[in-house]
Amino acid sequence: MTAAFFSDTTVLVNFEVIDRWDVLSTLVKDGGAWVASVENECRDWVRDYPTIHTSASGIFGEAIRPDSAEHIDTRVIRDAMANPADDHPRKHLGEAETIAILQRRFPEARFVTDDRAAFIVATASKIRCYGTGDLLFAAQRSGLVTEAERGSFLAALRDNGNYPQSYV
């Protein structure tokens, strides 16, 4: 399996909000992947975003499950990303599991995340990161969306309370 792009849940929610799964699919081509915790988080979001799990599954396929060592790494990474206000034990879990799996199995893959804590931990581990803003800019450069569409997508995400990141 050639997994070149891994996504966190927030990025998937963003593409659900703007309803442009076609753009995400084209950008990741056949190299998209996700981990089990991100898939589970998408299942949890189905009440608010009814097609998120089905749409993401169509792009990313079967989730990659962590092995025993990656489970331990995930907990250590998740604890490093948490702060005292993060009282939910699953907060940052998808991002932490993704980073653990990338570190051990896919060091050349890219991580698409809008979570600043995940970005900091991932880049410290030499994992290349992109945000939703970067993907939308790449979509514009590739002719998949116009500049006006990109601007309206970013505005719609902000109006929804989402904060798409750009790192490049």
Tell me the pLDDT tens digit for each residue of 34-81: 999 999 999 999 999 999 999 999 999 999 999 999 999 999 999 888
Instruction: With both helix axes pointing from N to C terminus, report the angle between 9-18 and 132-141 in degrees, rounded to the nearest 10.
Output: 50
* Residue position matching structure tokens 């990161």: 129
Asked if residue 94 lies in contact with residue 9, where contact means CB atoms within 8 angstroms, the answer is: yes
Average pLDDT over every residue of 105-109? 95
**What is the reported pLDDT for 90?**
75
Read off the pLDDT band of 1 (50, 70, 90). Answer: low
Query: What are the tens digits of pLDDT across the range 142-154?
Result: 999 999 999 999 9
3-class DSSP assignment, residue 50? coil
Give CATH for domain 5-160: 3.40.50
3-state DSSP helix/strand/coil % of the chain, to nearest 5: 55, 10, 35
Judging by beta carbons within 10 Å of its beta carbon (0-12, 13-18, 19+), is residue 114 exposed, middle or buried?
buried
Q: Please provide the DSSP assignment of 103-158 as one string.
A: HHH-TT-EEE---HHHHHHHHHTT-EEE-HHHHHHHHHHTTSS-HHHHHHHHHHHH
**In the chain, % of residues over pLDDT 90:** 86
Give the CA radius of gyration of the chain: 15
Domain ranges in the chain?
Answer: 5-160
Read off the pLDDT band of 89 (50, 70, 90). Answer: low
pTM of the entire structure?
Answer: 0.93
Q: Is the pLDDT of residue 84 over 80?
A: no
Q: Which of 133, 52, 135 is nearest to 94 (CA)?
A: 52
